[in-house]
Structure 1
Amino acid sequence: MTMPSRLTLVASLIGAGAGIATIAAVAQGINAGNRPALPDLPFTVTEIADFEAPWALSVLPEGRLLVTEHDGRLFLVTPEGEKTEVANVPRVQVSGQLGLHDIAPAPDYAESGVIYLSYNAPGEDGSQIVLARAVLRQGDGSAHLSDLTEIWRQPDGGGGGHPGAIIAFDPAGEHVFLTVGERTESETAQDPAMARGKILRLNLDGSAPADNPWAGEGPVQSLTWSTGHRNPYGLAFAPDGVLWEHEMGPRGGDEFNRIERGANYGWSDVSEGTNYDGSAIPGHETRPEYAAPALYWTPVIAPSGLSFYSGAMFPDWDGSALIGALAGMALVRVEIDAQGQPDEAERFDMGTRIRDVAVAPDGAVWLIEDGDPGRLMRLTP
């Protein structure tokens, strides 16, 4: 299938039948922007440790955590808060929103010790987003990365913020997905040859899967799974195997999207928000060829971090999406009904900007606070 320059025929990209019905089912998205935050929290918040501008966290199978700091440091942390800085982290370009980003254990981490990390690397034409993998080695109270290998580097350097750079693995553990923001150059999200405004799908070694929508059509096209994204800071698979993403809109229009193979989500041709200068952007209803958000927020919450809940501590949350909110200063719980329609169920007032969220094997929920210092917090009933 040839990748068209504007990807306007979403139906043909997704396929007939079920794919078309899925997009049609979410064409009328729900606006949850004005939902109130609940001041009475149904959980206890325990402050575990402080970090300098933490950016992402991930829970390892045995219950310890990995926490990245924006300026390029990585820590291994026990549930009690004992921190060990991990050595041999690659050099990163730090500027504004750019720096060390996401961290995630490989599907076979328990056997291999491999982790994946994303970051902005210095380049001659401006920084480039990199996806790398390495082995986390530990012993005698120390930890370091070895065998660091770049498996993908953004071919087009430069641009501003909006890096995205969020990592997710499919349920089978065969592919790694990476969000790439449009780096504040909005028009690039609709350019199929630019690695901006895309969700990429790679084999675990960084090669292009043969069943990607545009396999064999170019180095960026071959890796592209979906396009038309702005600033995607959340990506995760639900328990039923569906991939969900959230991204920040401009003035309004934060989106929660069901990600379909080959779909175009419309940025910057359409949005549920407006430009920062107040000028209008056509809404998704004006361009039905673009996939509309199933749920959106106007006013914005600035979503950051996404994890699906499974565990014994909060049984009523089973299957819910948990989303951090920067502008909303909250933890947002989203339920998805039997028809696949998400809606905000609860918004918990955390009194601070929440940067990332993760769920531990014991069912506890972990949050990191955006700031310097930024707290690592554990939520229990």
Structure 2
Amino acid sequence: MSASSALQDLLRFLTQEAKLPLSLALSKIPLLQKASLSTPEQIAKAKPADLLPIIEDEKQRKQLLAAAKRVVKKQAAGEDGQSAESPSKKRKRGEGSLFEVKAERTPEELEASLTLPSGSAAEELLEGTVLFTNRAPLVLAMTVTLLKYTMPEQPLSSRLSLAQAYVSLTSRARAVSLGIEKDSAEAEGWGEGLAEVEIMGKRIRVLRRWGYEVEKVVAAAETLDADADVKQESGREDVKQEGGSDETAEEKPALWGLDLEALKKSKTETINVLKAQSATTANMPIHTPQSARAYLLKSFDSPPSTTPGKKPTAAAKAAEKEQNLGMLLQTIELLFQSWLIAITPQELEKRIWGWYVQVRPDVEHGVAGWGGKNELKLGKILALRRAADG
């Protein structure tokens, strides 16, 4: 069993079998591992005194021991007349979540599958290019590009997930302010106690990707990144752990952006079959990089044509949107790189939202403009570049 699978099984046991709160379980895992109490079998053999330094609350210690002994007994007898089988083996047979099945691919394969289109158009062409889109995907495109400089240790899969988490948080806050949605999960305290990072002034709840070989994956991903030739000093925001301590720079854990709205939903729908899934690392609802990438690829159309003619095929339209995304990302890179000659990534981060407000598509105010589309002029983005003598 891999270290990642073993850790997932331990967290699943602590939250589902022992009924410990998620934030408490996450904080106790390192202590249990250090004490060689990483499985129900090991915990079942432990004495109460062995657990006292780890689980201070007597009731929770009893819960943990009772759950461990119950699991061991079930494994010995075999549930429902079947031979005992570990959760990791069940996942390999395909009984785990869809995300777990997808995670069977290697990190290198995952990163390669998420490569974003890169543009190489002449600046004259970019100056005159107009796209047709709504506002949220523009925020996503700018944030994904920004994270390459402020969190360079994060692989593309993590940057897509984190950027989507930021967009979700800002969009939900806007929807609440317009009266379209009720209070957000973040405002109601969902995710409280979990790790977080700061992106453009917003605190984003995250999950550490246990066992993900970040350095190796990032090195491989850099060969796929057409614009990775601008080297800037790291502007990474340290990951805040429960209790306020920081991750050391050397650890640089890969991260997922948590989907707090999905977490809230899965916890409150008592009849939903997904109810228990949010209690495990593997099944914690995250913003998947695949969905973020798909959103980018489908969101940047060309302005509607006023000339009657044959409609393009679905394949041709998809190719056109992909090319448009490549030109947008190229334009954003040109903007960022012009400033990174003179300022740090942290200073760049402070300017992004103001730039977005200046170039975003014009839509109606209030509820009427929610989700509305309009023109996005790449020339306006290029106009924000730092002057050569500035």
Tell me the TM-score range normalised by the shorter chain: under 0.3
TM-score (norm 1): 0.25
TM-score (norm 2): 0.25
Query: Which has the larger share of helix?
Result: 2
Which structure is richer in relative contact order (CA contacts within 8 A, separation 6 or more)? 2
Larger Rg: 2
